Structure 1
Amino acid sequence: MSERQARVWAGVDSGKGHHWAAVVDETGATLWSKKIENDETAILTAMDEILDLADEVSWAVDISGTASALLLALLAAHGQRAVYLPGRTVNRMSGAYRGEAKTDARDAYVIAETARQRRDFAVIDVPAQLAADLALLTAHRSDLVADRVRLVNRLRDVLTGIFPAPERAFDYSRHNG
């Protein structure tokens, strides 16, 4: 890994199912570029990797709506601020860079580069209450998933105690091992 930078710019091409983030240094060189699932754990892992690159990270996103709500709430919860680059600006700036193909990775790079070069974009204000509400909802969702797994396991245990033949017929270890 290269040495720690003083400041980097992280551009995020937001989407419903996943985001793509690219990080550039003060010369515009790409330091980091990856697809990130729109999931709390994946976003936090990526955020940690990006924050380890520099003393200061300037974040920029192309969507400030529901597709990026979890990302923005997690950034706010960790003391990070993001600016909003309108899609129209990203589209126009894309023409200034080599390559014809429109990809998530290229868009994320363009967002990071544009944020590096311009300082006139609006900061996205995520209210602390929204961040707290999202944290509560994701914790509740995790609890529901864990409850469902326990329920299925208990049901399977009861059924095999009463009627073990299907368990032998569907020996999961033989088929999945």
Structure 2
Amino acid sequence: MEYSLSGTEFINGKMFDSNGKLTHKTGNRFKLFPFVTHPNSVPVEDLSQLIGTYLCKIEDQKPVEITVADLVEKLKSETEIEAGQDALFYETVKQLFFDSEKQLRPLNLQMLSHISHKEVGEEKVADFLVDVLGEKENLKKLVSEAKQNEFNATNVFERLVLKYLLCDKEKKDDKIPYYRVVNAVTQ
């Protein structure tokens, strides 16, 4: 993607108001940075949601939400649980794979991609990172390989859980992509 801007377009464009004062309006001609005008309502304590959204954006997927009870019911169909051990099995799945907020623990990339964003700013930053950190098809290939390597190295119980973490295809939209100024950080 190439973009050129003449001095005249710069001065007479949408970057300056009628008084000649520089104004900030994102995405009028191209998108360079994911400016977020409203700060997050909740302080960022970890990057799991951002990274999970980033992984989903790379693969054009949207995770299907799953609860502890749904996962336990699906796992019961493939495992034998001794009579009277249902509550213990439920608690084990809950403690191993979910945090105190009933969100999946990010034990691997597939589980990490099921941690959805809570703030619009995180989605904008994820869009930015996908557009500027490399060619999307190459990123998709690398993420797929990494997920497969993790799957091969994981235990049987995690493999059963991963089997039930489903994603829907994210519909493509006609968003203006962020403009990559320097290719030095791409792979």
- Length-normalised TM-score, structure 2: 0.25
Task: Choose between structure 1 and 2: higher helix proportion.
Answer: 1
Structure with larger RCO (C-alpha < 8 A, sep 6+): 2
Task: Choose between structure 1 and 2: higher strand proportion.
Answer: 1
- Length-normalised TM-score, structure 1: 0.26
